[in-house]
Structure 1
Amino acid sequence: MEEPPPRYSLLEAIGWSKEGASVKDDGRIEVDLDSSLCKTVAKLIPHSHEHPDSETAAPLPFDCDIQLNVVIQVVGSRGDVQPFIALGNELQKHGHRVRIATHGVFKSFVRDSGLEFYPIGGDPSELMAYMVKNPGLIPQMKSLRDGEIQRKRSMVAEMLRGCWHSCIDDDQESDEPFVADAIIANPPSFAHIHCAQALSIPLHLMFTMPWSSTRSFPHPLANLKYSTTEPKMANYISYSVVEWMTWQGLGDIINEWRASLDLEPIPVTEGPNLAETLKVPFTYCWSPSLMPKPSDWPSHIDVCGFFFRSVPDYSPPADLESFLRRGSRPVYIGFGSIVIDEPAAMTSMLLDAIKSLGVRAIISRGWSKLGGENACSDDQVFYLDDCPHEWLFQRVDAVVHHGGAGTTACGLRFGRSTVIIPFFGDQLFWGNMVASRGLGPKPIPYKSLYAQNLAEAIQFCLQPDAQLAALDVANQMVHEDGVSQAVASFHRNLPLDKMRCQLLPSEPAVWRFRKSSKTSLSLSKVAAGVLVEYSRIKLSDLHLHEVNPIHIQNRRWDPVTGITSSLLGTATDVLQASGDIFYRPYQELRRVPHSNYEHSDSRTSSITSLTANSVNSHEGKKDSKLKMTGSTLKGSAKSAGRMVGFWYKGMLVDMPLAVSDGLRAVPRLYGDEVKDHGNIRDWKSGATFAGKSFVHGMAEGLTDIFSQPYKGGQKEGAKGVIKGLAKGTLGTTTKVSSAALGLIAYPAHGMMKSLYTATHCKTRKHIIQARAKEGKYLVDSPKGEIHRQSILRKFEAHQRQPIDPHGSSSN
């Protein structure tokens, strides 16, 4: 039975695609910010502001003497993977063990670079072909009918699972155990935050195009339409619009996968902007000489420069070397990993443009196999199968390509003027960037490409002005070292004070050894392994050390939206569970192999055997029916239990919590700050939160009626007194109510957290086993032999000295 297409329910229900946003042919989202929908969304997005302390210069060198297991998760084409190989090699120079987790087709590419490799699944060629057909975030109807969108969603689910296994599975070639101590990822890998949350380890995002909200320019995938919205605010809103639309297509897949990691589902209001809410460090790998860091990006966001690898030692084949020698410098034309629907038509168009100009050209066949299987080179055109761009671009006059960040960077690195033919994603962004600096003509979307405008674009690049502009940018970029600056950014954002093992300072702490109820010791895998081996401690004495705990809160804006979202969430859960009362039995019926009891063995010939088989068949059929009945009843009962559980949880826990949080948030609507009482992780922190909320809420609520008019009068006189009186009255009502209701809501929420943790511990046990396995492996390695006696000696010294709760000795 064919599965139905995914439900873009929220988009359809609110009329997003009709009123607020629509997808153009080039895949960009046309956002109408004058629509009532977008105006409503704008009110829910915090206004951006300048960051005076934001560092606009490249990060200074930062020393990190802790040797980490770093997994780099990358989804995309070869051009997306290549910069991270350069990054991985640079990280290795600092003593880190680096694993690249990406598509299986890039295994040799990664391994040949001296890096570990882990396949996460997914077919990049299929992904590229899909993106050419559906360059936007919402697929075309033809793709829905052909089932392509369902295949893409299945691929995303596969890659999510692969990314998690890349964090904790052994190396597939050497069987060497590996558990990640930190994650670096590009945003389209999607699994990054969730893997980091499960492991409680640091995460750092890196990307080639803007993905963080700014007032300086709109999201590269958004085409803004507005008349009344302030332009800078319009730019800022565009990032949330794109994130919301992405989450609508993938949120259900991500939450289903999170459940397999024992992580709670992410609320629909929090999923789209999770990275910004959690202030995940971000490094952008483009040249600041092309586009400086916006002033409203905070200090945990850096612009470091392009990631270049060293020019490879390459010996060209004889025919390529001969072609380059026997004429003028050619123009390079290639579309890399792009999979084009009609490569023959594209080849014909390229040849027409080349011949009309009379220039020589190198056409890279790429994944589309331009030129066909039997393409023949001549004195004017050479068909190229594979060649490092770093070597080739030094020997051409100009470059024509799809606008991938890596290819664009390489062309500019060697001072080559550029024609960009964008297909999807950030390619139009790079095309506009190149054109704005006079390094090439305006980008030509591939659907608008024909021989004449391509010839004109190439002619533009061969003019002296364009070539001088490209050389000027290359001279500026020569002083940048994007890879080393990115490593400095990564190191600077690590919580090194919490990561260091107290017995072996060069190793990251992953365990907490509790000496007493008030003191503990931070231990690395190898340190704990040595101590367990020598019976100084037991494995049961060790607890997972949370270096970077991630807490995802369901933030409320006010009591009305809080109650509405809580009711909607509860209703959705109850309806789904009630539907499962009937759907689960149906699933069980489909799983039962009817053939096991409907057919007897026709090969038996004797009457005795036939009779025996008939009796056995009857008994087997009876047993199968009993099992089937039991399974269906069990499925229905479980779904009924879930339905009742969702109802009671919604009414007794979620609803009071939503109201209390909504009341606490009201002062933020009129410009006051709301105190942060920490995160609720269990029943203890829930009770603590409730106590602090009650004390502060009652104290401030009872004094606001006097303090707010006084503050208002100081600022605006009589008008301010009236405003202050209104604020004070509202503050007294909401703060006192929230404080009282919170005494019930927050402890109950904490108890639910504790219950969830106690009943969802499979992943936690898996992490413990994986870390213990790596520790045992390291004990038997040269590292364990070198540090064995030092670890034992330092542990004995620590045992004789009091240790404070923060993990340092009293001395």
Structure 2
Amino acid sequence: MRLLLATAGSRGDVEPFAALARRAMFEGHEVRLAAPDSSGVGLSGIDVVSMGVDYTRMIEEQGVSAWAAIRSFREVVRPTMHAVIVQTARAAMEYRPDVLISHPKVLSAPLVCEALGIPHVLVETVPSMTPTRAFPAAGTTTRNLGALNRLTYRAAGLSARMFRSDLTEVAGLVGATRRRPAPPAATLLPISPAILERPEDWPESVHLTGPWRTESADSTLREDVASFIAEGRFVYAGFGSMAAGDPSIRGREVLQGIRDRGSRALIATGLGGLRIGDDLLGDDVLVVPSVDHDLVLPHAEAAIHHGGIGTLQAATRAGAVSIVVPFIADQPFWGARLHERGLAPAPIPRRRLNAHHVGEALTDSTKYRHAVNVAAEVMSNEHGTAVAMEIIRQQADT
């Protein structure tokens, strides 16, 4: 089977696709991955074609906020989306896959699949495309609107209209008829049912597969991280690429909240999410750019993070209680879901982040440890990429 995987976004959008690519290669399939540059994800050994975009540089230059996206729409967002939409179409026409597996940002995927006569498998990295009454679309609101929840899923379709001219260009490039493309043959969500209960009103073609992750027996920790972990329990804190506001103030408050509780702190600075001044350093804190969550979080008593689904699932799978400080997009959704399922304290709004609220949440976190350990046991038996590949094979055979 010849597969083209296409994803767009930052590290959290690329990692699951890389894991799926490696699983497909392990099973003997031909795989090509269309992806952004400089995502920070290890892609060695994978046949990768560049989309010609760099989300990491975009984040470093303008940060992450809805206002930044609006302000830079014409100069940054539109050219980036044009590259994602058009370059994926070109990659597909050159590669001629049997199945195209795509991220929702790859708006051209349905047109390409129509032109090539192949199945389209949509990957909802967060639940924002398939309507349900159970909860609102991730990234819209955290309030349960009941029967009106389904209306929030129209937001994705409305945003696609902003790139209508790009899709018209793709239609001409691939020879699509520009009629309304068929829905995906299957929709995959690399999310654990321990985190998100499957709604009863989802179609049978929509699947919660469990997280997509790469099993690696060769992963090793940095010497300083390994030594720090060996000294005993600690609290992890990292906000990844959430470069918004003042990371130094944020770092000071987070570290003080951890210290006030008498805990040690392992801080990952990421792409500007946190910054720790030299005046705050001590034997009870280690500051690093990033860590391997799978190796570090099983040793942490709690994990303070932004609520991205990748970090959130890694923490829960490791048995570390999450303290979510959401910034943008789907993060408030996940913070709310985790709290509703009894797996974490209520999220801390970013503008209310201070040492007091951090310490309060850490104290509160002990009440959720048993439930998180139960969820971790469930997740330890999940094999998301294997489940996903079985579904993809079924589409290719129909």
Residue equivalent to 2:134:
216
SS in 1 for 2:64: helix
Aligned length: 396
Residues 591-617 of structure 1, C-alpha deviations (whole Å, 9 max, x = no match): xxxxxxxxxxxxxxxxxxxxxxxxxxx
Q: Which of 223, 228, 231 in structure 2 is aligned with 1:318? A: 223
Residue equivalent to 2:42:
109
State the alpha-carbon separation in 2 of the partners of residues 372 and 456 from structure 1.
Answer: 21
The question of whether the paired residues in 2 share the 8 Å contact of 1:441 and 1:460 is answered with yes
Residue equivalent to 2:2:
69
Residue equivalent to 1:8:
none
In the TM superposition, what is the alpha-carbon distance from 1:399 to its structure 2 partner? 0.7
In the TM superposition, what is the alpha-carbon distance from 1:368 to its structure 2 partner? 0.8
The question of whether the paired residues in 2 share the 8 Å contact of 1:83 and 1:307 is answered with yes
Quick one: which amino acid aligns to residue 97 of structure 1?
Answer: E
Residue equivalent to 2:148:
234
- Percent sequence identity over matched residues? 25
Report whether the alignment pairs 1:305 with 2:210. yes
Residue equivalent to 1:247:
160
Quick one: which amino acid aligns to residue 236 of structure 1?
Answer: R
Quick one: which amino acid aligns to residue 167 of structure 2?
Answer: I
The question of whether the paired residues in 1 share the 8 Å contact of 2:21 and 2:46 is answered with yes
Q: Structure 2 matches for 1:97-496, cutoff 5 A?
A: 97-106=30-39, 109-111=42-44, 114-128=45-59, 132-134=64-66, 140=67, 147-169=72-94, 178-210=95-127, 211-223=129-141, 232-240=146-154, 242-265=155-178, 278-326=183-231, 328-368=232-272, 370-371=274-275, 377-461=281-365, 463=366, 465-494=367-396, 496=397
Larger radius of gyration: 1
Structure-2 change in CA distance of 1:260 and 1:286 (3 Å): same
In the TM superposition, what is the alpha-carbon distance from 1:120 to its structure 2 partner? 0.6
SS in 2 for 1:189: coil
Quick one: which amino acid aligns to residue 116 of structure 1?
Answer: D
SS in 1 for 2:254: helix
State the alpha-carbon separation in 1 of the partners of residues 190 and 209 from structure 2.
Answer: 6
Quick one: which amino acid aligns to residue 246 of structure 1?
Answer: S
The question of whether the paired residues in 1 share the 8 Å contact of 2:235 and 2:303 is answered with yes
State the alpha-carbon separation in 1 of the partners of residues 93 and 157 from structure 2.
Answer: 30
Residues 1-59 of structure 1, C-alpha deviations (whole Å, 9 max, x = no match): xxxxxxxxxxxxxxxxxxxxxxxxxxxxxxxxxxxxxxxxxxxxxxxxxxxxxxxxxxx
The question of whether the paired residues in 1 share the 8 Å contact of 2:242 and 2:273 is answered with no
In the TM superposition, what is the alpha-carbon distance from 1:454 to its structure 2 partner? 2.1
Alpha carbon RMSD of aligned pairs, Å? 2.6
State the alpha-carbon separation in 1 of the partners of residues 69 and 337 from structure 2.
Answer: 31
- TM-score, scaled relative to structure 1: 0.46
Residue equivalent to 1:740:
none
Quick one: which amino acid aligns to residue 132 of structure 1?
Answer: V
The question of whether the paired residues in 2 share the 8 Å contact of 1:143 and 1:149 is answered with no
Residue equivalent to 2:12:
79
State the alpha-carbon separation in 2 of the partners of residues 355 and 373 from structure 1.
Answer: 15
Residues 264-308 of structure 1, C-alpha deviations (whole Å, 9 max, x = no match): 556xxx5xxx6xx52531011211233332222222111121112
Question: Gaps (5+ residues) in structure 1?
Answer: 1-67, 135-139, 170-177, 498-811
Q: Structure 2 matches for 1:784-803, cutoff 5 A?
A: none
Q: Structure 2 matches for 1:538-617, cutoff 5 A?
A: none
SS in 1 for 2:303: strand
The question of whether the paired residues in 2 share the 8 Å contact of 1:323 and 1:379 is answered with no
Structure-2 change in CA distance of 1:121 and 1:444 (3 Å): farther
Residue equivalent to 2:22:
89
The question of whether the paired residues in 2 share the 8 Å contact of 1:224 and 1:238 is answered with no
The question of whether the paired residues in 1 share the 8 Å contact of 2:19 and 2:213 is answered with yes
State the alpha-carbon separation in 2 of the partners of residues 397 and 311 from structure 1.
Answer: 23
> Higher helix share goes to which structure?
1
- TM-score, scaled relative to structure 2: 0.90
